[in-house]
Amino acid sequence: MPVISAERMQGRIDAIVEAASAVFAAKGYEAASIAEIARRAEVSDGLIYRYFSNKRDLLYRVLEAFYERVVAALEKEVAKDAGFEERLHALVRRHLGNFVADRELCRLFLSEVRVASDYKGSTIQTLNRRYASVLTGLIEAGIAAGEVKTDASARLIRDVIFGAIEHIAWPYVNGDGKLDVEATAQSVTALICGGICLPQQKNPEEAPRT
């Protein structure tokens, strides 16, 4: 058997993961088949099994790629030079936007993976914790900057925000109704900041002239 280059091997893997993502999104995990994924990736069934143990392994690789992408985007969003409220709004909007842009992958994660026995200790759980830590880090930075109350619990606020958003988005993820990302992001941000944000002193130089 001829030896293939590392680049070509990675290209095959990427093509399989991309095809699997499309098939899982279109048909769901149970209805998706390795044969259909292979046809979409233009490879043989056997080649898929050279790189992935089974369909479950492939699902995890799809969601790992998804999480790596959304974590990087969220970290970039929050790294912008802005005040706490503006950065929180950007984070909430980005998180809600994930449900719209990748509705089926979000549904697969919530219904197929997070509740499964093999989720604990998995790479996806590690990535999920990294994703959540972006929000706790933002809250801790807000406390340090004097923009958020010192007695605010970063972990509790994180759970409130992500829990509320998941509850709001779940009907949409299941194909029921619409999700207004901007309006919801504004409402959630206003609600949270109304409870934890400290009033900020205005710069005298910015005061309106009389």
The backbone torsions φ and ψ at residue 148, rounded to the nearest 5 degrees and listed phi first, read: -125, 145
Residue 159 lies in a domain: yes
What single-letter amino acid sits at 129?
R
Q: What is the pLDDT of residue 40?
A: 95
Residue 210 lies in a domain: no
Are residues 4 and 87 both part of a single domain?
no
Are residues 111 and 42 both part of a single domain?
no
Residue 34 lies in a domain: yes
**DSSP type of residue 197:** B
Helix (H, G, I), strand (E, B) or coil at 102: coil
Are residues 64 and 168 both part of a single domain?
yes
Residue 138 lies in a domain: yes
Question: How many structural domains is the chain composed of?
Answer: 2
Give me 51's structure tokens: 């790189």
Are residues 26 and 89 both part of a single domain?
no
Task: Give the chain's count of helices (H) and strands (E).
Answer: 9, 0
Question: For residue 201, is pLDDT > 80?
Answer: no
Residue 28's domain is classified under what CATH number?
1.10.10.60
The pLDDT > 70 percentage for the chain reads 94
Are residues 112 and 179 both part of a single domain?
yes
Alpha helices in 5-101 (DSSP H): 6-31, 34-41, 45-51, 55-78, 84-101
Residue 40 lies in a domain: yes
Residue 142 structural domain: 60-198
Are residues 38 and 79 both part of a single domain?
no
- Distance between CA 140 and CA 151 in Å, rounded? 11
Are residues 64 and 48 both part of a single domain?
no
Cβ contacts of residue 58 below 8 Å, gap of 6+? Answer: 16, 17, 20, 34, 37, 48, 52
Residue 203 lies in a domain: no
At 138-192, the pLDDT tens digits run: 999 999 999 999 999 999 999 999 999 999 999 999 888 899 999 999 999 999 9
Question: Given CA atoms 14, 20, 25, 30 in this order, what sign does their dihedral have?
Answer: negative
Q: What is the pLDDT of residue 134?
A: 97
- Distance between CA 194 and CA 200 in Å, rounded? 13
In whole angstroms, how far apart are CA 47 and each of 18, 74, 144, 166? 15, 34, 52, 37
* Reported confidence tier of residue 135, pLDDT bands at 50, 70, 90: very high
Residue 69's domain is classified under what CATH number?
1.10.357.10
- Distance between CA 21 and CA 37 in Å, rounded? 9
Are residues 190 and 142 both part of a single domain?
yes
